[in-house]
A and B are shown apart, each in its own frame.
Chain A
Amino acid sequence: MGEFLEFQGVSKRFGPVKAVNNVSFSVKRGEFFSLLGPSGCGKTTLLRLIAGFEQPDSGRILLDGQDITQLPPNHRNVNTVFQNYALFPHMTVFENIAFGLRVARRPKDEIEHEVMSMLKLVQMEDKAWHLPSQISGGQKQRVAIARALVNKPSVLLLDEPLAALDLKLRQRMLLELDLIHDQVGITFLYVTHDQGEAMSLSDRIAVMHSGVTEQIATPAEVYEAPKTSFVASFIGDTNFFDGIVSSVPDDDYCLVDIPDFADIEGFNGVLCYNDKKKAVGGRVNLSVRPEKFGISIDPPRRQFAHMNVLRAKVEDIIYTGNHTNYWVSVGSRRIAVYQQHAGYLLDEKPIRWGDDVWLYWNADNGYMLDDEAAPDPGLGDNVKGV
């Protein structure tokens, strides 16, 4: 299976703004591929470049081996589901879906048949003769998807299609989108700023930041092995630790001296999986997800081969039902710790505000990032989101 949709060094600027900056990646045939990033990072611009509404300043876009960079939108075999749906207000649901086929001058009975089967796919048969103004947001969204899919595009582009829907409807449409993708087998390129949507739907995700793709990987990889501090903080919450390698006891692990922990009695460094092969004196930016920590009143029994154990003081506790979030202070740092409730453990001593606790984590769960400095020094506790 080769590369189906390919970006080769694509750049696009609007005046001084580099909306898309030398982006290269490729999408496989039939893949559900997401572009994930904060507002203004260039996701829509990238989508518009594929659809043909914008021309790149440099670089090429290939679709199925063919250079489509110069093709006008109506000659590209891609269709878009717009962020605000962009349904034609003067046409019925049926006519909206039929538009692409009518423009292509397909025979009448064929149009009827194709539109009807699309209406069935998105479960809108009973609304065929309604105008867009007479149907709900979720229904409009399904019509927009049907209108695009009926043309059997090589790639379906979706620009935050669920953004305008409420939470419950969004969750239902998420399942439906997944189902539709399985049924039609078309390549989906999905734009969103919602990590939950991207994680649950995608085969692969490209995380974008200021016009650059920071990491392209499967949802699990992006979460468990973020490449940069931006990825680590944008997807999920994390704790960043800045430090310097103090010793390299073996090939796989190193000991990192963390200045924030300097005044802890007996602290001699955090054990860290050394996949970047850092030498003594190398700078390390470590990310440890809040749920990777263990926390207990009693000293932990040794559970892992490479375990870090620290003393901490509980500063804040938020109980959310299925898990509890703790904020503990270690040295001059605040660390976020999330604990899942596997069972209501009566034999474990409950943790209260102000308690002195043990904090421990597996060295394999700390992740060295590519960039050496933690982002957002403004966030005192270096924890993004709550």
Chain B
Amino acid sequence: MSTRKLREICATAPSLVWLTAFLLVPTLMVLTFAFKKADPMGGIGTEWTFATLRSLANPSYPAIIWRTIWQSLATTAICVAVSIPMAYYMARTGERTRRFLMVLTILPFWTCFILRVFAWMSLLHPHGIVKNILVALGMADPSSQLLYTSGAVLLVMVYNHLPFAILPIYASAEKFDYQLLEAAADLGATRATAVMRVFIPGIKAGIFAAILMVLIPALGEYVIPDMVGGPASEMIGNKIAQRVQNDRNLPHACALSAALMLFVMGPMVAYLFARRKGGKEGGRFSI
């Protein structure tokens, strides 16, 4: 073994150990526990069973999983769509404005997450400001409901995840060579064409990171639907939380988690596999 190879192994070992200990092992545990019987004390029993998995056939689950996925995808799409122009503006504006916007982006993290959701609850409350303004403008019926709807869940989820989309996209946009947009305009492209065909491909690494940073936590979200959603906006995270906290049935929670994981990972692995195979422009490295 060459010293170079040895050095490479030494350099990657810590992250490999970390990932194995805190990602791979827990994932495998979740997958295994799905096949265990529940212990009446709230722990994991010793016997193996398929009963838990079979119970997932309960017709309410597919609907919840489906809602979870589209709510998360919608959150991700909105966050990314809002972040791209925001990041563009931040990257191109003066130093003062840039710093101000950066502080605005990060500021919410200084307040407790639960408090921020409470703030939204009071804003969206039937007697809250938002509702009153909408009614005054004639844009909402006085009897209509803002709080405890799927719309409220989506709004608060977008609000909460937006910084996680802005930061990676801004990091890419800051490194982007804006002369390329001039080059595109020089070659006859309109602004929209230049953005679609030059800017977005140029910051795709940031967009990809933003999608992961928003989509994955969004899929597991349960506090927001619990607080601002109604019974018809439950997500799979709520079910998992109920199994753990109310029913003390860990295997059932694990089975739900595993199902969610398969739903998400399946298409992603398939996509990566297809790209690897179809990557004909040789030598290009991309995610």
A binding-site residues for B, Cβ under 8 Å: 51-53, 72-74, 78-80, 82, 84, 86-90, 92, 99-100, 103-104, 129, 131, 134, 147-148, 151
Q: Which residue of chain B has its CB nearest to the CB of A104?
A: B188
In the assembled complex, B127 has its CB within 8 A of some CB on chain A: no
**Closest beta carbon of chain B to A107's beta carbon, Å:** 16
Q: Which of A80, A87, A129 has the most CB of B within 10 A?
A: A80
Cβ–Cβ contact A89 & B202, under 8 A: yes
Q: Are A100 and B188 in contact (CB under 8 A)?
A: yes
| CB-contact partner of A73 in B180, B182, B204, under 8 A | B182
Total contacts A to B, CB within 8 angstroms?
Answer: 65
- Counting from the closest, the 8 A-B pairs by CB-CB distance are A100-B187, A86-B183, A73-B185, A90-B201, A86-B179, A103-B189, A103-B188, A80-B186
Query: Which of B185, B186, B202 has the most chain A CB atoms closer than 10 A to its own CB?
Result: B186
Residues of chain A within 8 A of B183, CB atoms compared: 80, 82, 86-88
Interchain CA distance A147-B184 in the complex, whole Å: 11
Q: How far is the CB of A106 from chain B (nearest CB, A)?
A: 11
Question: Beyond A86-B179, A86-B182, A129-B281, is A74–B190 a contact (Cβ under 8 Å)?
Answer: yes
Q: From the candidates A53, A78, A90, name the one contacting B202 in the complex (CB within 8 A).
A: A90
By the criterion CB–CB under 8 Å, are B177 and A99 in contact?
no
User: Which B residues form the contact surface with A (CB < 8 A)?
Assistant: 177, 179-180, 182-190, 193, 197-198, 201-202, 204, 281, 283-284
Please list 7 pairs of residues, one from A and one from B, whose beta carbons are closer than 8 Å in the complex, sorted by A's number: A72-B185, A74-B185, A74-B187, A82-B182, A82-B183, A103-B187, A131-B283
Contact of A79 among B186, B189, B197 (CB under 8 A): B186
Please report the C-alpha to C-alpha distance between residue A100 and residue B283 in the assembled complex, in whole angstroms. Answer: 26
Cα A52 to Cα B183 in complex, Å, equals: 11
Contact A74 B182 (CB under 8 A): no
Residues of B within 8 A of A87 (CB): 183
| Contacts known (A74-B189, A92-B281); A99 close to B202, Cβ less than 8 A | no
Known: A88-B198, A90-B202, A131-B284. A99 touches B179 (CB 8 A): no
| Across-interface contacts of B197 in A (CB, < 8 A) | 99
Q: Which residues of B contact A72 (CB under 8 A)?
A: 185
- What chain A residues lie within 8 Å of B193 (beta carbons)? 103
Docked pose: A101 CA to B132 CA in angstroms: 54
Residues on B with beta carbons closer than 8 Å to the beta carbon of A131: 281, 283-284
Complex formed: what's the CA distance from A74 to B189 in Å?
6
Residues of chain B within 8 A of A79, CB atoms compared: 186-187
Give the complex CA separation of A104 and B204 in angstroms: 25
Q: How far is the CB of A108 from chain B (nearest CB, A)?
A: 17
Chain B residues, Cβ within 8 Å of A84 = 179
Q: In the complex, how many angstroms separate the beta carbon of B271 from the nearest chain A beta carbon?
A: 19
Secondary structure type dominating chain A contacts:
loop
A147 to B198, CA, bound (A): 15
Of the residues A53, A129, A151, contact of B188 by C-beta under 8 Å: A151
Report Cα–Cα, A100/B187, bound state, in Å.
Answer: 5
Contact residues in A for B187 (Cβ distance below 8 Å): 74, 79, 99-100, 103, 147-148, 151
Q: What are the residues of chain B within 8 A of A147 when measuring CB–CB?
A: 187
Interface centre among A84, A103, A129, A148 (most CB of B within 10 A): A103
Please report the C-alpha to C-alpha distance between residue A100 and residue B185 in the assembled complex, in whole angstroms. 9
Q: How many Å from the CB of A371 to the closest CB on chain B?
A: 37
Q: Which residue of B lies closest to A98 (CB)?
A: B187
Could you tell me the distance between the alpha carbons of A147 and B190 in the complex, rounded to whole angstroms?
17
Q: In the complex, given contacts A52-B185, A103-B188, what are 18 additional A-B residue pairs having Cβ atoms less than 8 angstroms apart?
A: A53-B182, A73-B185, A74-B190, A80-B186, A82-B182, A82-B183, A88-B184, A88-B198, A90-B204, A92-B281, A99-B184, A100-B188, A103-B189, A103-B193, A131-B281, A147-B187, A151-B187, A151-B188
Which residues of the partner chain B approach A99 to less than 8 Å between Cβ atoms? 184, 187, 189, 197
CB distance from A145 to the nearest CB of B (A): 13
Given contacts A88-B180, A134-B283, contact A51 B186 (CB under 8 A): yes
Contact residues in A for B198 (Cβ distance below 8 Å):
88
Report chain A residues within 8 Å CB of B190: 74
A74–B281 contact, CB under 8 A? no
Q: In whole angstroms, how far apart are the Cα atoms of A129 and B281 in the complex?
A: 8
In the complex the two chains form, what is the Cα distance from A74 to B204 in whole Å? 25
**Residues of chain B within 8 A of A89, CB atoms compared:** 180, 202
Assembled-state Cα–Cα distance A72/B193 (Å)? 14
Question: Hey, which chain B residues are within 8 Å of A51, CB to CB?
Answer: 182, 186
State A74–B281 Cα separation when bound (angstroms).
30
Closest to B190 in A: A74
Residues of A within 8 A of B202 (CB): 89-90
In the complex the two chains form, what is the Cα distance from A51 to B202 in whole Å?
23
Query: In the complex, are the beta carbons of B177 and A86 less than 8 A apart?
Result: yes
Min CB–CB distance B266 → chain A (angstroms): 28
Note all chain B residues with C-beta closer than 8 A to A129: 281
Report the minimum CB–CB distance from A147 to chain B (whole Å).
7
- Please tell me if the beta carbons of A73 and B186 are within 8 angstroms of each other in the complex: yes
Rounded to whole angstroms, the CA-CA distance of A52 and B184 in the bound complex is 12
Pick from A82, A90, A100: contact of B179, CB under 8 Å: A82
A242 CA / B204 CA spacing, docked (Å): 63
Rounded to whole Å, the gap between the CB of B176 and the closest CB of chain A is: 10
Chain B residues within 8 Å of A151, by CB: 187-188
Q: How far is the CA of A100 from the CA of B194 in the complex (A)?
A: 11
Complex CA–CA separation, A53 to B194 (angstroms): 14
Chain A contacts for B281, CB-based, 8 A: 92, 129, 131
Find the A residue at minimum CB distance from B204.
Answer: A90
CA distance A381 to B284 in the complex (A): 58
How far, in whole Å, are A340 and B203 apart by their CA atoms in the complex?
A: 57
What residue in chain A is nearest B280 (Cβ atoms)? A129
Contacts of B283 in A (CB 8 A): 131, 134
A207 CA / B185 CA spacing, docked (Å):
29
Q: Which residues in A have their C-beta under 8 angstroms from that of B179?
A: 82, 84, 86
